[in-house]
Amino acid sequence: MTLPPDRRLLTPEEYRQAQDSPEFSELRRRFRRFAVPMTVAFLAWYLLYVLLSTYAHDLMSRQVFGNVNIGLLLGLAQFVTTFAITTLYVRHAGRSTDPIADEMRDRLEAHEFGTPRSEEPTRG
Amino acid sequence: MVELIAADTIGEPAINISIFGVFVLITLVITFRASRKNSSAADFYAAGRNISATQNGLAIAGDYLSAASFLGIAGAIAVYGYDGFLYSIGFLVAWLVALLLVAELLRNTARFTMADVLAFRMRQGPVRTAAAISTLVVSLFYLLAQMAGAGGLVTLLLGVSGEAAQAVTVVVVGALMIFYVLVGGMRGTTYVQVIKATLLIIGALVMTIWVLGTYGFNLSALIGGAISSGGQAVAEPGAQYGLTGVSKLDFISLGLALVLGTAGLPHVLMRFYTVPTAKDARRSVVWAIWLIGIFYLFSLVIGYGAGALVGKAEILAAPGAANAAAPLLAFELGGTALLGIISGVAFATILAVVAGLTITASASFAHDIYASVIKKGQASPTSEVKVARIAAIVIGAVAIGLGILALQAGLNIAFLVALAFAVAASANLPTILYTLFWKNFTTQGALWSIYGGLIACVTLIIFSPVVSGAPLNEATGTSTSLFQGVDFHWFPLSNPGLVSIPLSFFLGWLGTKLSEEKPDVAKYAELEVRSLTGIGAEKAVPH
């Protein structure tokens, strides 16, 4: 399959150089710094809720006001945290990872990473 | 039992059918218009990648808010109260996995199918085949749930009874969906989803305000109403799952499958490819999370409203049982007219989701099995799209057959969909995450994880109470199992996620550790750089 010139894929060497570059390490670090702890946190919070619903029946059935009990409030809190994490993620991506990603993509498209063609691509 | 049903039909079948007919007519026109732009494979599979983020967010919601969400969750809350609520929480929180870890990276690296990413760093043939098989299995489970929902709804709303008439309706639904996919491709399917999601959310909003208005906008009073009809248990956890130690484990298993399933559902993943860039994929997931979350808050009110205003006993006695709660509530609130609208929307829901599943399954067959494995990447795009269209017809026919089989089973469709989620979480998610984030992951690890998760999950379902040996319901004299009168079950849980998901993660790790081939370092560099920066990502087709 032939690709138009602007779509020409990079050489393996260029990808290796880009991967080893300090700005890519920073991009990866910033991406994971948010995604990994947040994933652990929301999964733990969700599993806690499921476990409480299953094994702490009396606690979850305790009424807070009227017929609204702790279980229902914690369930609604799951909605609130989901919306909140979504908003935080969008802000984090916009401020922290998008600028590096955009800049790197421009430079990759201009083939500024690696010294292509002259040497064999290194394979691990 | 079936003969009695006609007498229980509610509303005016003519009105129900005509509202549904209007929806079909409008979507057919739009599908025809969309078909003019369907020339290339990227058009057919991914709508030319120029669906806007807002439209795609609505379409994701349209794909995701299936009959299971609308009818199943409302029904589960109406009958079991709190335990039904867990479905909606699991279905929603699951989107964070997709947003944080999967959506953008997938948009940046894949072309048309889930297998594009899974096979990226691996030996193409075996991994693509595995991913395609698991795509087909998940899609068929999901289709089964939608068709079962269609069957129950038909009996309730259209005044048809008897197996033959129900079968005819399923054939009509199936034929329509094949038509949408063949003519409209992904773009037509997307528009159908967008319209359906809009109608569904507006319909649910109207019912929610109506129910809340009845109770003076007091949530406590609404729950009080549900308690006076269904007992104190509906406000507390455990009404459905709290009876024994085994059923408690089942609840946890279900919760795990729900939260990890979404990001492994092929028809959800495929929607990320229809937008121009990864940022649009992010925006569309954000739209979807808000729409889906707000919809589930509505369904909490609708479910408790049905429990309070219609009554648990009457819901369970209706054809379609728990799945009938939302339509029955609509009839109770707004009589024939509102019932007609809500049931029209429910049908539209089933039709749209089924179309989305069909295009995903047929794309996977044509792109992964036919073009990549059989033709070794030498197939022309035209022949690939042709094969996809033929596959859509075959898959549609299989779905119709399964739907007719599923008609009589009377399973809660949210529950059936939860099984599809378990398969997706077991067979797909571990490999997706390992591929994206674990440098040393190998072909053998991917194969062990996909096949191990898939086989374990399906085997455990076959030998679970879902298929045989569930306790008899005294009221109806039948059990909730697929097969009555036989009992070959030995696995106690109805949802296998608790066993099969960790097993699949473990097999992926073990297969990699025992692997003799070295991981492809160069390909991993390419995948990682592409996934995070978006270099080399597929671009939108200009029109």
What are A48-82's pLDDT values in tens digits? 999 999 898 889 888 888 888 999 999 999 999 99
Rounded CA-CA distance B420/B426 in Å is: 10
User: Which fold, B2-407?
Assistant: Sodium/glucose cotransporter (1.20.1730)
* pLDDT of A122 strictly over 80: no
Q: Average pLDDT of A83-98?
A: 96
A119 is a domain residue: no
Counted residue by residue, chain B has a size of 543
Q: A16 lies in which domain range?
A: 10-109
Q: Which of A35, A76, A108 sits opposite B533 (nearest CB)?
A: A108
pLDDT reported for residue B296 = 95
Q: Is B243's Cβ below 8 Å from some Cβ in A? A: no
pTM: 0.90
For residue B370, give the amino acid letter.
Y
Integer angstrom CA distances of residue B136 from A104, B22, B186, B358: 37, 32, 17, 9
Contacts of A65 in chain B (CB under 8 A): 220
Separation of alpha carbons B451 and B33, rounded Å: 41
With a cut of 50, say whether residue A3 has pLDDT above it. no
Tokens representing residue B350 in the block: 């089933």
Mutate to test the interface with B, among A46, A63, A90, A92 (most CBs of B within 10 A): A46
Please tell me if residue B286 touches chain A, with a CB cutoff of 8 Å. Answer: yes
Q: Report pLDDT for B145.
A: 79
What are the chain B neighbours of A111 within 8 Å (beta carbons)? none
Cβ partners under 8 Å of residue A77, min gap 6: none
pLDDT band at A5 (very low <50, low <70, confident <90, very high): very low
Q: What is the reported pLDDT for B87? A: 86
For A68, which of B97, B220, B238 is closest by C-beta distance? Answer: B220
Contact B311, B84 (CB under 8 A): no
Q: Could you write out the DSSP letters of every residue in B491-520?
A: ---S-THHHHHHHHHHHHHHHHHT--SPP-
DSSP letters for A58-122: HHHH-EEETTEEHHHHHHHHHHHHHHHHHHHHHHHIIIIIHHHHHHHHHHHHTT-SS-TTTSPPP
Exposed, middle or buried by CB within 10 Å (0-12, 13-18, 19+), for B55? buried
CB contact (8 A) between residue A105 and residue B289: no
b or e along B86-123 (b: 16 or more beta carbons within 10 Å of the residue's beta carbon)?
bbbbbbbbbbbbbbbbbbbbbbbbbbbbbbbbbbbbbe
Locus of tokens 């978006």: B534
Contact assignment for B223 to A67 by CB distance below 8 Å: yes
Across the interface, whether the CB atoms of A71 and B237 are under 8 A apart is answered yes
CB contact B534 to A (< 8 Å): yes
B517 at the A interface (CB within 8 A)?
no
* Spatial distance between the Cα atoms of A54 and A52, rounded to a whole number of angstroms: 5
How many CB pairs below 8 Å do chains A and B form together? 162
Alpha-carbon span B197 to B66, nearest angstrom:
10
Cα B409 from Cα B403, distance rounded (Å): 10
Mean pLDDT score, A22-36: 94
Q: Do A15 and B95 touch (CB under 8 A)?
A: no
Alpha-carbon distances of B315 from A54, B242, B296, B325, rounded to whole Å:
26, 21, 20, 6
pLDDT of residue B159: 66
Cβ pair B445, B509 in contact under 8 A: yes
**B171: Cβ–Cβ under 8 A, 6 or more apart, which residues?**
B400, B404
| Contact status, residue B288 vs residue B51, Cβ threshold 8 Å | no
Q: What integer pLDDT is reported at residue B212 of this predicted model?
A: 94
Planar angle of CA A31, A35, A37, nearest 5 degrees: 125
Comparing alpha-carbon positions, the chain B residue that sits nearest to A72 is B82
Residue A120 lies in a domain: no
Q: Does residue A1 belong to any structural domain of this protein?
A: no
B503 vs B18: CA distance, rounded Å: 49
What type of residue sits at position B280? D
Q: Of B304, B336, B313, B5, which is closest to residue B153 (Cα–Cα)? A: B5
Token digits of residue A88? 């935080």
Per-residue pLDDT tens, chain B, 543 aa: give them. Answer: 333 333 445 667 777 778 778 888 888 888 888 777 666 888 888 888 989 999 999 999 998 988 777 888 898 899 888 888 888 999 999 999 999 999 999 999 988 899 999 999 999 899 999 999 999 999 988 888 787 777 667 666 666 666 777 778 778 878 888 888 888 888 888 988 898 899 899 999 999 999 999 998 888 889 888 888 878 888 888 777 777 888 889 889 999 999 999 999 999 999 999 999 999 999 999 999 999 999 999 999 999 999 999 888 888 887 667 778 888 898 888 888 888 888 778 877 888 888 889 999 999 999 999 988 888 888 888 888 889 899 999 988 888 887 777 766 656 666 678 888 999 999 999 999 999 999 999 999 999 999 999 999 999 988 988 887 777 766 666 677 777 778 888 999 888 999 999 999 999 999 999 999 888 899 999 999 999 999 888 888 876
ipTM of the complex: 0.90
In Å, how far is A107's CA from the nearest CA of chain B?
10
Specify the DSSP class assigned to residue B479.
B
Residue B436 · residue B527 · CB < 8 Å = yes
Q: What residue in B sits closest to A85 (Cα-Cα)?
A: B96
Question: Residue A84 falls within a domain, yes or no?
Answer: yes
Is B53 part of the contact surface with chain A (CB cutoff 8 Å)? no
Report yes or no: B44 and B364 within 8 Å, Cβ to Cβ.
no
By Cβ distance, the residue of B255, B522, B528 closest to A12 is B522
Q: How far apart are the first and last CA of chain B?
A: 55
Look at residue B161 in the predicted model and tell me its pLDDT. 63
Residue B93 to residue A78, Cβ atoms within 8 A: yes
- Residue A76 Cα, gap to closest chain B Cα (Å): 8
Q: What percent of chain A has pLDDT over 90?
A: 59
Cβ pair B93, A78 in contact under 8 A: yes
- Domains in chain A, number: 1
Strand, coil or helix: B159: coil
Sequence-distant (≥ 6) Cβ neighbours of residue B201 within 8 angstroms: B61, B65, B291, B294, B295, B298
Contact list, B242 vs chain A (CB under 8 Å): 54, 57
| Contacts for A92 with CB less than 8 Å, ≥ 6 apart | A34
Decide if pLDDT at A120 tops 50: no
Identify which of B422, B488, B483 has the alpha carbon closest to the alpha carbon of residue B458. B422
Segment A35-42 shows an average pLDDT of: 96
pLDDT at res. B376: 85
Substitution target from A67, A83, A104 for chain B, most B beta carbons within 10 A: A67
Q: Which residues of B touch A31 (CB under 8 A)?
A: 532
| Chain A contacts in chain B segment 203-222 (CB below 8 A) | 218-221
What's B112's DSSP letter? S
DSSP summary character for residue B482 = S
